[in-house]
Amino acid sequence: MKLGMIGLGKMGYNLALNIIDNGHSIVGTDVDAELVNKISRVGGEGVHTIEELVKQLPTPRVIWVMVPPGEVTRQVIKKLSDLLLDGDIVIDGGNSHYQDSIQRNALLTEKGIFFFDVGTSGGMVGARNGACTMIGGDAEVFKTIEPLFKDISVENGYLYTGPVGSGHFLKMIHNGIEYGMMQSIAEGFDILKKSQFDYDYESVAKVWNNGSVIRSWLVELTQAAFSKDANLEEIRGVMHSSGEGKWTVETALDLQVASPVIALALMMRYRSLEDDTFTGKVVAALRNEFGGHEIVKK
Amino acid sequence: MKLGMIGLGKMGYNLALNIIDNGHSIVGTDVDAELVNKISRVGGEGVHTIEELVKQLPTPRVIWVMVPPGEVTRQVIKKLSDLLLDGDIVIDGGNSHYQDSIQRNALLTEKGIFFFDVGTSGGMVGARNGACTMIGGDAEVFKTIEPLFKDISVENGYLYTGPVGSGHFLKMIHNGIEYGMMQSIAEGFDILKKSQFDYDYESVAKVWNNGSVIRSWLVELTQAAFSKDANLEEIRGVMHSSGEGKWTVETALDLQVASPVIALALMMRYRSLEDDTFTGKVVAALRNEFGGHEIVKK
Amino acid sequence: MKLGMIGLGKMGYNLALNIIDNGHSIVGTDVDAELVNKISRVGGEGVHTIEELVKQLPTPRVIWVMVPPGEVTRQVIKKLSDLLLDGDIVIDGGNSHYQDSIQRNALLTEKGIFFFDVGTSGGMVGARNGACTMIGGDAEVFKTIEPLFKDISVENGYLYTGPVGSGHFLKMIHNGIEYGMMQSIAEGFDILKKSQFDYDYESVAKVWNNGSVIRSWLVELTQAAFSKDANLEEIRGVMHSSGEGKWTVETALDLQVASPVIALALMMRYRSLEDDTFTGKVVAALRNEFGGHEIVKK
Amino acid sequence: MKLGMIGLGKMGYNLALNIIDNGHSIVGTDVDAELVNKISRVGGEGVHTIEELVKQLPTPRVIWVMVPPGEVTRQVIKKLSDLLLDGDIVIDGGNSHYQDSIQRNALLTEKGIFFFDVGTSGGMVGARNGACTMIGGDAEVFKTIEPLFKDISVENGYLYTGPVGSGHFLKMIHNGIEYGMMQSIAEGFDILKKSQFDYDYESVAKVWNNGSVIRSWLVELTQAAFSKDANLEEIRGVMHSSGEGKWTVETALDLQVASPVIALALMMRYRSLEDDTFTGKVVAALRNEFGGHEIVKK
C-alpha cells in the first residue's frame, strides 16, 4: 500500500518507519522541512505541502494524519476535505477528542470521504516496532485498510471498535486508566521513600515485574527510570498532562460515573504545577483565625 | 465551685477566665511560671505544682486538665491517679484520642476517681466567652458538674454524650467535618482566584455570610482573614494539622465508612507540607520513558 | 418599582411575595395557569403570556426571569430579546451556567437591552424572607436596580460582582462549596452511626450549632432534619444534583485547580444513584481471577 | 532442602507443590486433616500437629508458615518459639502486618531463632509455578535459604529487601498499588459501559494487552474474566478487601504521604459493601430542607 503521512514528529516518524519496514510506501510531509528531508533519507518520499502529498498518492488515497490534536488537526482535516475525493480515506491517528472526530467525520462524509479515528498506544517504541491501535469508522471500508493495521501493530494489537468516535473514545479511556495506574505506582514508591526501610527502587520495580500481581509495562518503565537515576534526584515532580485524562474525567461526569481514582490522578497533576496554592493559604488563614495556629509567612 | 486547672496555655487560660467570670474559683498551674503569675493577676490562685494544686482544692476535687494531648496528658493523668482520692473528678478538656481516654478512665476507675472526656470547640474566643462542650463520663456524677458546663458554654452549647470516650470521639468527628468544610471553602476561593473574574474575596465571604446556604462561622472567619490581607499574600499555603483529622480518617477506615472528602482534606494538608514530591518525580519519569515527554530538571 | 417576574415556581413565587412585601409591584406569568391565579390572589398582577407581561410594564422595563436553567431560560431570553427595547433590563435569577449568561448578554446587548446574571442563594425561605444575591452586569445600570436587591436581600446580603457572568459564576462556586460542606457533615454523621457510641443525632447537631467551629446554617438544617426523623429511616440515601456542582468541577479542571473535595462530593452523589456498579463487578472479578477470592453472585 | 509448611490452604498447598517440584522435601501440616492427606498424596509428608512437624525436620529447621494473618499467625509463631531451637529458621510467607513481623522477630530473636518476613505475590498460579517473593531478615542467614527462594520464584522474582519488616512492608505497598491499579481499570470499563458506544470488553482488554501502555497482568486477568462472563452479569459489584490496602493507607497517613488514589480505591471498596448509606441520607435530607428537593422514600 502507498499512503500519505501528514506529521513526521516523534510519533509520525516512527510510525512511518514501521510502515516502510512492513513493505508499504510512504509519502510524508511536515511543516518542518528538516523532518521532510529525514523521511526521504530513510526510504520515504518527502514532500513539502499537503497538496503535493495528495497528488503523489494513487486513488483511493489513504492519508494518515499524525499532528497535534485540536486546532492543527482541525485545519489539516479541513484542508483534506477540500483536496480529497469521493472514496478517499483519512485516518486521524492522533489524540483527538472523540467528539471532534465525530464532527470531522460528518464534514468528510458530506464529500464521500471516509474517516477513521485511530487511538494509537505504546509510545514511540510501539509506533516504531509494533503499536496498539483502536480503530473507529465504517466497518466495510475498514476491511480495505485492515492489512495496514495488522502490519504496524503487535500481534493481536489492533481492534476495530465500531463507528467513528469509538476509536478515540477507547484511547481516551486507556489514557485515563494510565493516569490512575501511574499515580498508584508513584504513590507506592513515595510511601517506600518515606518509610523506615532503605529500599533500592530499581530492584523493587524489577522484582515486581517478575511474577507479582502488578507486573506491567509501566512498572518496567519504572525500573528503567530508576536504573538511570536511582533516586530521581535530577527530576522535579512536575506532572504535566496532555488532555486525555481531563477528557476522561469530563466524560465520567457527563455519564455520571464515579471515577475518583482517575479524577484524583488528574488533580494531583494539577497540584504539582503549583509551588504554593490559594487553597492552602485560605486553610492556613482559617486555622490561624480560630485556633491561633501559627501561619508560615512568605 | 472551686476547681483546678492544669495547663494555662491559649485554651486553658481563656477557659479559666471564663470560669472565674461565672463566679467560680480557679486554682491554676502550668510548667511555665509566667503563666502561673498571669492567672494570679486576674483573680485565680496560681500554684507551681500539681501536688500543691491538689492540696488547695476541697473534696471531692474537680480538676480540669488542659495540656497537649498524648504524652503530656498521659503523664498528668498518671500523676493525678496517684494524688487523688475516691470520689474526685478529673476532666480532660484537651484533644485526646478517645481510645486513650477510655484507657485512662480504666486506670482512674480502679482508684474510684471519676473521669470525663470533654471535647471543647469554639477556638480561643469560645473558650473565653462561651465554648461548645461535648462531655463523656458517668451520667450520675455528671449532674454534679453540669452547672459548670452550663456556665462556661454558650446557650445550648454543652451535651452529655454518653460513656467515657464519647466526648472526645464526638469532638474528633467535629474536627474531621471541620477539615472537610475548610477545604471546601478554600477550593472554592482557589477557583475564584484563577477565574476570569476579579472578585474582592472579603466582599464575597461577607455576602455569603448573609443569607446564603453556606453561611457559617468558618465563612465569617474567612471574611475576617481577607479583611486583614485581601489576597493572603503574606501567608504561605502550608496546612498543618494536629491529629484529629487523621484520627477521623483512621476511625472511618476501621469502621469501613467511605469518607473521601474528609480523607482528601487531610491528604491535601500533607501534600502542602512538601515543595516537591517523590510521587511527582515517578510520574514525570514515567511520562518521559514512554512518551518522551520532557521532564523538568531540578 | 413595578417589575415583571417570569416563572412563579418555588423560587419565583417566594421572591415575588418578598418583592411585594417590600412595596414593589409585580406582574407575574407562568406556563402553569394555576400559578398565575395564585400570584393574583396575593397582590400581584397575573398574566398568561410574556407578551402581555411586557405590555404591562413601564419603560425602561425590568423583568426578572426565574425559570429552569438551560433550554427554558434560553427560550425565554430569546423571546424577550425580540419583545424588549433599548434600555430595558433583564435579570436572570436562576441557576444558569455563567457561560450561557455571557452569551445571552451578547445577544441582548446587540439590541441595547441590559442583562444581569444573578445568583440567588438561601433556598425558598431566603427567597421569601431575605435572599443572598450575587449580581453581575453593567456597573452604572446596576445603580438603578440596586434598591430592589437591597430590599429583597438580607442585610449585607447582596453584592455587585462585576461584569455579566460573574454573578452566576460566584453562585456556581457557592454551590460547589455547599456540596463539599454537605458531604463533610454527612460523612461525619456516618462515622458516628457506625461507631461504638449511641449518639442522638439531633442533639449532636444542636450542640454543634451552639459555639462550635462548624456552626452553620447547614448544621442547623441537619438538626431540623433529625428532629423530624431521628435516624432518617424514612429516607433513601439517593443524592441527586442539579448541575452546579458538576460545573464547578468542570471549571476547576479548565483552570487546573486541584479541587478534590468538591469533586469527590459530586462523585459520591453519582455513586449513590446506582445500586450496583460495573466498577465493582470488574474489581470483584479481578480478585477472583488472581486470588480465588469468592465473588458474590447476583 | 527438607522444610516444614504450616498451613496447606490455597497458597500453602500450591507453594508446597512448587517446592516439591523443585526437588525439595516438604513436611506439611494443617488443622484440616483432609489437607494433610492431600499433601501426602502428592509427595509431601503430611503430619497432624506442629509438634510432629518440628520432630520430622533436620536441624537447623526451616519452617514456612502460611496461615491467615493476625491471630492465627501469632499463635503459630508463639508455638514455634516454644518448640524451636537456636539456629532454626521461621519464614512467615503470609500477609502479616510488618509491625507484627517486627514484634515476632523480637520474640524469636530472644531464643536465637531466625525470622524472615516474606511477601508472596502472584496469586495461586504464582505460588504453584513461580512466585514473586520479597524477603526481609538477617542478610547472612538469608544466604542459606536463598536457593529455596530462587527455585520457587520466577526468574528475577525474589528480592532480599533488608531487615525484618521490610518484606511484608514491601508486599503491603505492592498490594496498595494493586488496589489503585484495579480501581483504575474498573473505572475505565465503567465509563465504557455507560458510553454511547457498544464495546466488546474482552476484545478491549485483549487489544490493550498487546502493545498498549497499560498492558499488564491485571489487564490480562480482566480479559480472562470477560471471556467467562462477557458483561459480568453474574457478579455483584461487592469489593471485599483483606487488610493490606487499609494498612497501606494507614501507613501513608503515619508518614504524611498524600496517597489519594490508593485511599480512594480502598474507600470505594467500603462503599460497595453498603446498599444504602447514612451519608447519602443526610445529604438527601439536607437538600430537602433548604431547597425542597424531593427525597426518595424507602
* Cis status of the peptide bond prior to D60, with omega within 30 of 0: yes
Note the pLDDT of residue C5. 98
- Rounded to a whole number of angstroms, the distance from the CA of C56 to the nearest CA of chain D is 31
Residues C158, C87: Cα–Cα separation, whole Å? 23
Q: Does C224 touch chain A (CB under 8 A)?
A: no
CB-CB under 8 Å, D260 with B253: no
Nearest CB to C258: which of A258, A259, A271? A271
B295 pLDDT band (50/70/90 cuts)?
A: confident
- Let me know if D294 is exposed, middle or buried by CB neighbors in 10 A (0-12, 13-18, 19+): exposed
Q: Among candidates A261, C18, C11, C43, which has minimal Cα distance to C27? A: C43
CA-based end-to-end distance of chain B: 63
In B, minimum Cα distance to C186 occurs at B177
Q: Do A187 and D259 touch, CB atoms closer than 8 A? A: yes
| C123 pLDDT more than 80 | yes
Q: Which positions in chain C touch A258 (Cβ < 8 Å)? A: 267-268, 270-271, 277, 279
Chain position carrying cell 487546573: C256
Its sign, for the CA torsion B255, B257, B261, B264, is positive
* CA distance from start to end of chain D: 63
pLDDT in tens, D4-49: 999 999 999 999 999 999 999 999 999 999 999 999 999 999 999 9
Interface list for B 239-298 with A (CB within 8 A): 239-240, 242, 260, 264, 268-269, 271-272, 275-293, 295-298
pLDDT band for position B293 (cuts 50, 70, 90): confident
Contact A176 D170 (CB under 8 A): no
Q: Cβ contacts (< 8 Å) between A244 and chain D: which residues?
A: none
Instruction: State whether ipTM is beyond 0.85.
Output: yes
B196: pLDDT strictly greater than 90: yes
| Residue whose C-alpha cell reads 478538656 in the numeric block | B93
Cross-chain residue pair B232–A264, CB shorter than 8 Å: no
CA distance C268 to chain B (A): 8
Min Cα–Cα distance to chain B from C201, Å: 10
Q: What are the backbone angles phi and psi of residue C120, rounded to the nearest 5°? A: -120, 120
Nearest CA in chain D to B271: D258
Pairing of strands D45-47, C114-121: unpaired
* C-alpha cell read off for C91: 435579570
Domains of chain A: 2-163 (3.40.50.720), 171-197+236-278 (1.10.1040.10)
Q: Convert the pLDDT of each residue in D163-194 to its tens digit.
A: 999 999 999 999 999 999 999 999 999 999 99
**A255 to D165: CB separation less than 8 angstroms, yes or no:** no
A159, amino acid identity:
L
From the CA of A208, how many Å to the nearest CA of chain D?
7
Chain segment D244-253, per-residue pLDDT in tens: 999 999 999 9
Residues of D classed as catalytic: 171, 178
Mean pLDDT of chain C: 96
**Beta carbons of A218 and D217 less than 8 Å apart:** no
Closest chain D residue to A132, measured at CA? D211
Q: Flag whether pLDDT at C295 surpasses 90.
A: no
Active-site position among C178, C206, C220, C250: C178
Which whole number is the average pLDDT over C76-102?
Answer: 97
CB contact under 8 A, B188 and C197: no
Q: What pLDDT, on the 0 to 100 scale, is given for residue C291?
A: 78
Cis preceding linkage at A60, omega within 30: yes
The one catalytic residue in A79, A111, A178, A220 is A178
Of D153, D217, D262, the CB nearest to A213: D217
Span B224-267, pLDDT tens digits: 999 999 999 999 999 999 899 999 999 999 999 999 999 999 99
Q: pLDDT at position A64, please?
A: 98
Show which subunits contact D, needing at least 3 CB pairs below 8 angstroms: A, B, C
Q: Which residues in chain B have their CB less than 8 angstroms from residue D290's CB?
A: 213
Nearest CA distance, D266 vs chain A (angstrom): 10
- Provide, as residue numbers in chain D, all residues whose Cβ is less than 8 Å from the Cβ of A158: 207
pLDDT at C297 over 80: no
CB D157 within 8 A of CB D134: no
Please determine, for residue A292, whether its predicted confidence score (pLDDT) is greater than 90. no
> In the A/D pair of chains, how many CB contacts fall below 8 A?
269
- Run of H or E residues at B114: strand B114-121
In degrees and rounded to multiples of 5, residue C93 shows phi and psi of: -95, 5
Whether residue B60 has a cis bond before it, omega within 30° of 0: yes
Residues of B in contact with D266 (CB under 8 A): 253
Mean residue pLDDT of chain D comes to 96
Percent of chain D's residues with pLDDT above 90: 96
CA pair distance C166, C151, nearest whole angstrom: 21
Cis peptide before C60 (omega within 30 of 0): yes
Which residue is associated with the grid cell 522444610?
Answer: D3
- pLDDT tens, residue by residue, D222-243: 999 999 999 999 999 999 998 9
> Average pLDDT of chain A?
96
**What pLDDT score does C293 carry?**
75
Instruction: Decide if C278 and D186 are in contact by the 8 Å CB cutoff.
Output: yes
Distance separating alpha carbons of residues A284 and A269, to the nearest angstrom: 22
First to last CA, chain C: 63
Check A212 against D258: CB less than 8 A apart: no
Give residue B294's pLDDT.
74
| Identity of the residue in C182, C183, C260 whose CB atom sits nearest the CB atom of D260 | C260
pLDDT at residue B297 tops 80: no
What pLDDT is stored for residue C166 in this prediction? Answer: 98
Residue tagged 418578598 (cell numbers) = C18
| Phi, psi torsion values for A43, nearest 5 degrees | 105, -5
Q: Considering only CA atoms, which of B147, B289, C166 is closest in space to residue A186?
A: B289
* Residue A242, helix vs strand vs coil: coil
Find out whether C206 and C220 touch, Cβ atoms under 8 Å.
no
Mean pLDDT calculated for residue range A199-218: 97
Confidence of residue D296 (pLDDT cuts 50, 70, 90): confident
* D294 confidence band (pLDDT: 50, 70, 90): confident
The reply to whether residue D174 touches residue A203, judged by beta carbons under 8 angstroms, is no
A262, C248, C278, A81: which is closest to D230 by C-alpha? Answer: C278
First vs last Cα of chain A: how many Å apart?
63
Q: Which residue in A45, A171, A202, A244 is the catalytic one?
A: A171
Contact present, D215 and A177 (Cβ < 8 Å): no
Question: Which of A212, A241, A270, A288 to mutate to probe the C interface, most C CBs <10 Å?
Answer: A270
For residue C209, the chain B residue with the least C-alpha distance is B157
State whether residue A62 is helix, strand or coil.
strand
Distance CA A230, CA B180 (A): 37
Please, what's the largest Cα pairwise distance for chain C? 77
Shortest CA distance to C123 belongs to which of D284, B216, D288? D288
CB contact under 8 A, A174 and D256: no
Q: Mean pLDDT across chain B, nearest whole number?
A: 96
Output the CA torsion sign for B223, B227, B231, B237.
negative
Interface of B with D in 147-206 (CB under 8 A): none
Spatial distance between the Cα atoms of A256 and D194, rounded to a whole number of angstroms: 9
Please tell me which of the candidates B256, B259, B270 has its beta carbon nearest to residue D256.
Answer: B270
Look up residue B101 and give its three cell numbers. 481516654
Rounded Cα gap, residues B188 and A279, in angstroms:
8
Verify whether the Cβ–Cβ distance D203 to A255 is below 8 Å. no
Q: Is A178 a catalytic residue?
A: yes
pLDDT for residue A274 = 97
Encode pLDDT of B142-178 as tens digits.
999 999 999 999 999 999 999 999 999 999 999 999 9
Residue with cell 470525663: B116
Q: What DSSP element (H or E) covers A220?
A: helix A217-228
As a whole number of angstroms, the distance between CA C191 and CA C183 comes to 12
**CB-CB contact of C216 with B218 (8 Å):** yes
In chain C, which ranges are E strands? 2-6, 25-29, 45-47, 62-65, 89-92, 114-121, 131-136, 153-162
With left for phi above 0 and alpha for psi between -120 and 50, is residue B88 left, alpha or beta? beta
Q: Which residues contact A264 (CB under 8 A, 6 or more apart)?
A: A183, B264, C260, C263, D260, D261, D264
The 3 state secondary structure assigned to chain D is CEEEEECCCHHHHHHHHHHHHCCCEEEEECCCHHHHHHHHHCCCEEECCHHHHHHHCCCCCEEEECCCCCHHHHHHHHHHHHHCCCCCEEEECCCCCHHHHHHHHHHHHHCCCEEEEEEEECHHHHHHHCEEEEEECCHHHHHHHHHHHHHHEEEEEEEEEECCCHHHHHHHHHHHHHHHHHHHHHHHHHHHHHCCCCCCHHHHHHHHCCCCCCCEHHHHHHHHHHHHCCCCCCECCCCCCCCHHHHHHHHHHHCCCCCHHHHHHHHHHHHHCCCCCHHHHHHHHHHHHHHCCCCCEC
Chain B partners within 8 Å of A289 (Cβ): 123, 221, 224-225
Q: Provide, rounded to the nearest whole percent, the portion of chain C with pLDDT above 90.
A: 96
Nearest to D270 among B250, B258, B270 (CB): B258
Residue C292's pLDDT is: 77
**How far is Cα B72 from Cα B37, in angstroms, rounded to an integer?**
21
- pLDDT at A298 exceeding the cut of 90: no
Q: pLDDT tens across C39-63, in order? A: 999 999 999 999 999 999 999 999 9
pLDDT over 80 at A293, yes or no: no
Residues 15-34 of B with CB under 8 A from A: none
CA distance C49 to chain D (A): 27
Report whether pLDDT(B57) > 80. yes
Tell me the three cell numbers of residue D229: 462472563
Interface test with D, best of A173, A175, A218, A220 (most D CBs within 10 A): A173
Per the CB < 8 A criterion, the answer to whether D239 and D178 are in contact is no
Residue with cell 470505594: D268
Q: Cα(D77)–Cα(A61) distance, rounded to whole angstroms?
A: 73
Of D213, D253, D279, nearest to B246 by CB-CB distance is D253
CB atoms within 10 A of CB C8: 27
Is residue C28 helix, strand or coil?
Answer: strand
The residues, any chain, with a CB within 8 Å of residue D297's CB and separated by 6 or more, are C234, C235, C236
- The dihedrals phi and psi of D262, each to the nearest 5 degrees, come to -65, -40
Band of pLDDT at residue B283, cut at 50, 70 and 90: very high
Q: What percent of chain D has pLDDT over 70?
A: 100
How far apart, in whole angstroms, are the C-alpha atoms of residue D16 and residue D24? 9
Q: For residue D38, give how far its alpha carbon lies from the nearest alpha carbon of chain A (Å).
A: 26
What pLDDT, on the 0 to 100 scale, is given for residue A290?
A: 86
Taking only the tens place, the pLDDT of each residue in A229-285 is 999 999 999 999 989 999 999 999 999 999 999 999 999 999 999 999 999 999 999
Residues of C within 8 A of B251 (CB-CB) are: 191, 195
- Using one digit for the tens of pLDDT, what is the confidence trace for A53-100? 999 999 999 999 999 999 999 999 999 999 999 999 999 999 999 999
Q: Are the beta carbons of A197 and D163 separated by less than 8 Å?
A: yes
Instruction: Report chain D residues whose CB lies below 8 A from the CB of B257.
Output: 270, 279
Q: Return the pLDDT at A49.
A: 97
| DSSP category for residue B9 | S
Could you tell me which of C91, C107, C87, C81 has the C-alpha nearest to residue C7?
A: C91
pTM: 0.96
